[in-house]
Amino acid sequence: MHKIYFATGNAHKLREAKNILGEVGYEVEQLDCDYPELQADDLETISAYGARWCADKLDRDVMVDDSGIFIDALNGFPGPYSRYVEDHLGNQKVLKLMEGDTNRKAVFRTVVGFCLPGGEPHTFIGEVVGTISLEERGVHGFGYDPIFLYEGQTFGELEDVKKNRVSHRGNAMRKFAHWLESNPR
């Protein structure tokens, strides 16, 4: 089994990464690296910056993950500011912002950034299209999972295994794993 180092303080992301990459033969080890999060309007730039910063600081190959939910009715908001909005407003206030909107379309996006020390970062994008529910549903997952509807169920209603098969993070990490297989270190 190959080892991947993941710079994250998010226990939920770590668990999902271990499950997703474990299925394709990779062991995920968490690194304690509180990197400065670049403020940018796109996840690719943020993820690439974080991966390069961690790889150079820790002198090892590192994976980071930046994710966001992009809601059509809110002009793509909160997008790259999703964590900040979740921490300060939460799902109930997001739902309140959308009261009366009939366009509930949303895209969940994850960008996995990977970099070797002194190297150029690589990014892998995963997306899933769904809608924003009218209320929170489910007890699984974290963040926006209880309000993101996919094929009739929120991510909060899906067990990890099912969610990981269709989720934005699962899609990005499988792309990353495929790239790793084609580019052995």
Contact 85, 96 (CB under 8 A): no
115/113 Cα distance (integer angstroms): 7
Examine the residue annotation and report whether 65 is marked as an active-site residue of this protein: no
Q: From the candidates 61, 65, 66, 145, give the one annotated as an active-site residue.
A: 66
Tokens found for residue 94: 């997001």
159/115 Cα distance (integer angstroms): 31
CA-nearest of 37, 155, 167 to 110 is: 167
3-state DSSP call for residue 183? coil
Give Cα separations from 158 to 46, 90, 142, 183 (angstroms). Answer: 28, 20, 11, 33
47/168 Cα distance (integer angstroms): 15
Cα-based torsion angle of the residue sequence 88, 93, 94, 96 in order, rounded to the nearest 10 degrees: -160
Active-site residue list? 66
